Amino acid sequence: MIRSIALLAAMLVVTAAPSATAQTAVQTGPLAGLPTDSAAAFVDHMETERGEPPATARARFALAEDLEARGDLADPRAHAAFLATRRHLFAGFDDPRQAYRDAPLPIGWGQTISAPHMVGRMTSVLAVEPGHRVLEIGTGSGYQAAILAWLTPSVYSIEIVAPLAARTAALFERLIAGGLETYGRVSLRTGDGYYGWPEAAPFDRIIVTAAIDHIPPPLIEQLAVGGIMVIPVGPPGAQVLLEVRKSRTADGDMIVERRDVYRGRALVSFVPFTGGPRP
C-alpha cells in the first residue's frame, strides 16, 4: 500500500562556508584536490591540471559564489561538482558572458539547458552521496548528468528526443576521449522517461528536468525506500518544484511525502514532459 502525505520537514539551506568536515567530504573521488574556496587557486588548478582557459574558469567560480550566496548551491559536494563541470562545453558557447549567465539557453528541438541556479538548487536538494544510483529524466545537453557524474559512479539518463540524444551521446564520447573519463560514469538511453529504467532500478535519487501534471507512478515504484526525487509538477509556465521522499512505516506501508522546494515562494518553468501514456 502506498500513501501520499505532505512532507513536513523544511529543507536546511546552508549559505555559510562549509565546515572542515564538509570540506573533507568534498575532497574525495574525482573531485579530490579541486580548490573550492579560492578563485585564484581554482582558476590556476583548472588551467594547469585540466587545460581550461582562465576566462571560463573565473566566470564559473564567480557564478558559483553568487549561487551559494543565494542558497541555490547549498550542498558542498554539489558546489564542487558545479565548479568541476564546464557549462560552456554543453551550452555551445565558448564566450563566458554567454555560457555563465544565470539563464536557460536553447539547445535545439524546442529544448533548453536549465539556468544554473535551477541546476544548483535541484542538485543540492538531491544531496547525492558516493555510491548512490541516480536516474535523470531528460538528458538534454548532458549538463545535469555531467554534474551528477562527479558525485557518483552510477548515473542513468534518458532522453526522448532522438537527435538530441544522439548529439549528446557523441559529445560525451568526445569529452571522455579528451580526458574527462569521469563522464564514463553516465549511462545514456533514448526513450520515454515516463517509464523510467526498470532494469537498473531501484534508484536512490531521481531528477526530472521536464514539467508534468503528476508524478509518474513508474518513477515512484523505481525510487528506493529512503530515496529522493526532484520533479517540477504543474501547468505550463507555473510549476511547483517538488521534493518527493519515499519511506516505509513500521507496519510495512509505503509513504510518499511531497514538499515544495521553494515553500510557496516561487514557481518554476520547465519545458513540457512529452512522454507518458497515450489516450
What residues are labeled active site? 114
Alpha helices in 100-185 (DSSP H): 116-126, 143-149, 162-177
Which candidate, 240, 230, 232, 202, places its Cα nearest to that of 218? 202
* DSSP secondary structure letters along 225-256: EEEEEEEEESSTT-BEEEEEEEEE-TTS-EEE
Does an H or E element contain 59, and which?
A: helix 54-69
Q: Is 218 exposed, middle or buried (0-12, 13-18, 19+ CB in 10 A)?
A: middle
